Amino acid sequence: MIRVKICGIADATGFDAAVAAGADWIGFVFYPPSPRAVTPAGAAALSARHAGGPLRVGLFVAPADDDVSAALAALPLDALQIYAPARRVAALRARFGVQAWRAVGVAARGDLPAAAHGADALVIEPKPPPAATRPGGNAQPLDWSLTAGWRAPLPWLLAGGLTPANVGTAIARSGATAVDVSSGVEQRPGVKDPARIAAFIGAVRASAPNSAPPDRARNCGGAPPPSG
């Protein structure tokens, strides 16, 4: 089963669509400069629309301890997706006892992590272009051949420039067992398109036609499955 994270959920329409389409994770962005940012209270209100279902992931960029604490006080998060050096990611995991995913920008094979460094999972995406004002894939696809055959030290998700049209190819070429999408399922920045969410998840499921649906009763952890 290839698993799917729909990130940057900021309104009820997007949240409901991700749940209905069978997303494995929903991502809330706690980074004010992002057009997809939500407050802890806003994320809690969205999460309360549906008990159970997709696991909840909070995205943070170089957060202070108080930033993470405020989010966790508002709603239970299954994992923290963190843009920060590996040492800081490990420190936040130890401080809060919540699974931590380290986001890693990759431009060459040598950028792929060789060790866990205290994280539970990795989000592999392109390095931001020079003019970018925000971290992350910035809607640019990774060179998917970079991860083919990579002996990953942790479970990992592929992110960056994924769409319903290209995600099947991305999975086949990269070897990813989990994918993360945000702008690729939007009408405009910060506004998710239910039809595109459904099409994206449908394309992912079709890339592994013999896979069974995820068993959420047993899948209670925050990290994706091992990547082979």
User: Considering the domain boundaries, does residue 222 fall inside one?
Assistant: no
Average model confidence (pLDDT) across the chain: 90
Name which of 11, 17, 1 is nearest 35 in CA terms: 11
pLDDT of amino acid 141: 86
In a domain, 74, yes or no: yes
Write the DSSP string, 7-71: ----SHHHHHHHHHHT-SEEEEE--TTSTTB--HHHHHHHHTTSSSSSEEEEEEES--HHHHHHH
Handedness of CA 191, 196, 200, 201 (dihedral sign): positive
CATH number of the domain residue 134 falls in: 3.20.20.70
Q: How many domains does the structure of the chain reveal? A: 1
Contact 222, 57 (CB under 8 A): yes
Q: Is residue 24 part of a domain?
A: yes
Distances (CA, A) of 86 to 30, 89, 121, 134, 200: 19, 5, 12, 19, 30
Task: Report pLDDT digits (tens) over 141-171.
Answer: 899 999 988 999 999 999 999 999 999 999 9
- pLDDT at residue 210 is higher than 60: no
59 domain-assigned: yes
Which residue range is the domain that position 163 belongs to? 3-206
Tell me, yes or no, whether 220 lies in a domain. no
Supply the pLDDT for residue 228.
Answer: 39
Is 95 inside a domain boundary? yes
Residue 61, Cβ neighbours under 10 Å: how many? 19
Report if residue 211 sits inside a domain. no
Residue 29 lies in a domain: yes
Q: How far apart are CA 2 and CA 4, in angstroms?
A: 7
Where does residue 69 rank: exposed (0-12), middle (13-18), buried (19+ CB within 10 A)?
middle
